[in-house]
Every structure is written in C-alpha cells, then in structure tokens.
Amino acid sequence: MFFLARLTGDPTDLYLPVDASVEARENFRQIHSLNDPLIVQFGDYMVDLVQLDFGDSIRRARHALEVVTEAFVWTLQLAAITMIGVTFAAITLGSLAAFRVGGPFDRVATFFSLIGASAPDFWVAIVTIVVFVVGFGWLPTSGTGTVWHWILPVSVLFIRPFGLILQVVRGSTINALSSAFVKTARAKGVAPRATIFVHALRNAMLPVITVIGDQAAGMLNGAVVVETIFGFPGVGKLMIDSMLQREFAVVLASIMVTAFAIFLMNILIDLAYAVLNPRIRY
C-alpha cells in the first residue's frame, strides 16, 4: 500500500500552484520527505511505524493517527448500531423460520433474506436517496447532526448482513432442532420457545458467530461506498478522500488502524466460541 498509494501522483502538483517556483517545490518536497528515493522513504516509514509514528497529514497539518482515530470513532458507532440491530433481528427471525420449515413465515423470511443478501449496497443507497430524499423529502442525504441523518446509512448497511446472517441462523437452527438432545427436550415436555431459544439456538450459534464477526469486520474495514454516498465522516470516506488528496500518511494510518481493529474482532470471536461451547478452551 505504501508504493501503490504513490501511484496517484506527486502531492507537490496538487498542493502548490501551477506557477510555483522550483525553489518552492523543492522546499515542499523537503519538508514532507518526498525527495528521497521511494525505497528510502519506505525504510524511514517503517522505522517511524515501529515507534507508532504514522506521519502527518499534509492538508490538515495534524498527526495522521489523530485524523484517522476521529473518523474511526464514527465508523465504529455506525457499525455497532447496525450490527446490534442486525444480530437481534436475524437471530430472532431466523430461529422462528427454522421452527416451522416450509411454513408461510419461513417462506417470507427466506424470500426477503435472499433479496437482502443479494442487493448491492451502492444500488440500495442510490434507490433510498431517490425515494426518501428526492421523492418524499423525508430524510437528509448527508451529515450526522440528528437521528434522521443516521437512518439511511444504518438502513442500507443493515440489509445485506441481515440477509446473510438470517440464512445461517435458519440453517444452523434446523440442524440443531433435528439433534438428539432437542428431541429429548421435546419428549420431556419442554415448551417450544425454550426448545428453540435455549436448547437449539445456543448449539447453533458457532457458525452464526463466525458470520456476525465477518460482517462486523467488514463494517470496521470502512463502509466505503455507503459512507461516501451519504457523506458520512467515517474511515471509509476518509480513505477515499485521502487517496484523492494524496494524503499518503492518512491512507496508511487508516489501513493500519482498521487492520488492528479486525485483529481484535477475530480475538473476540474466538473467545465467544469458548463461551458458547464449553468443550472449546484456549
């Protein structure tokens, strides 16, 4: 990424006037350590990175890590709100659909979950803007000032993971309901609700946790398309803007912070396995 980012061009051409003197260009390149060969710049960057120095933002004249952290907080809030709603809705509806396979509720839930899992985010985002903003004028298109500003980004991000997770919950719960311990619980007269949500669901949660973690990591990775379309000030939009502005330090800091967050997410998923299944211990 260090070398690929520099394919966007020289920041000197972007931040200085066209008629800037040779001396001004050289001073700019010297200040921002752009005069050295790329391999030397990469070596210096790695030395600084070991010391947790991610460099400075040229446009904002601030540490790149500070800029990324501020944007990442917004992405983290967006991902948390969305995934809490997705997890609750998908687990509840997926379990109920699995209880009566082939019934009306199962067919409706499966139909809408397949549509949700197949719908591309960029298309859904554009359609919601056309309908709810341009058509009805109910919601704003960008910003974070009020609750209304969050409705469209959260709704668009909700659809795809909801469809995927509901399908996994349904399939895993169907398998769990056919197991011997559930049949024994039913024979003992355990209530249907307890059979689903206590006995079957807990044993069906391991693959579900994997998919939930994968979808959450995808949002932490920056909902680039959704954040860009709705002007949401998250790390995804920051990354796109930084590429266009040739903010190499900010681009690399965004990647490093996001990678670290995904690393922590994977650890939490592994710990969740051990909690749900006592046979798994690390």
Return the pLDDT at 7: 82
Residue entry with tokens 């966007």: 8
pTM: predicted TM-score of the whole model, two decimal places: 0.80
* 67 contacts 250 by C-beta, under 8 angstroms: yes
Q: Give span(s): CATH 1.10.3720.10, the chain.
A: 65-276
Return the pLDDT at 22: 81
Question: How is residue 6 annotated by DSSP?
Answer: G
| Rg of the chain over all Cα atoms, to the nearest angstrom | 24
Residue entry with tokens 């668009």: 156
Mean pLDDT, residues 36-46 taken together = 87
Return the pLDDT at 85: 92
CATH number of 65-276: 1.10.3720.10
Q: What is the pLDDT of residues 186-238, one digit of tens each?
A: 676 666 666 666 666 677 777 888 888 888 887 776 577 888 888 888 888 88
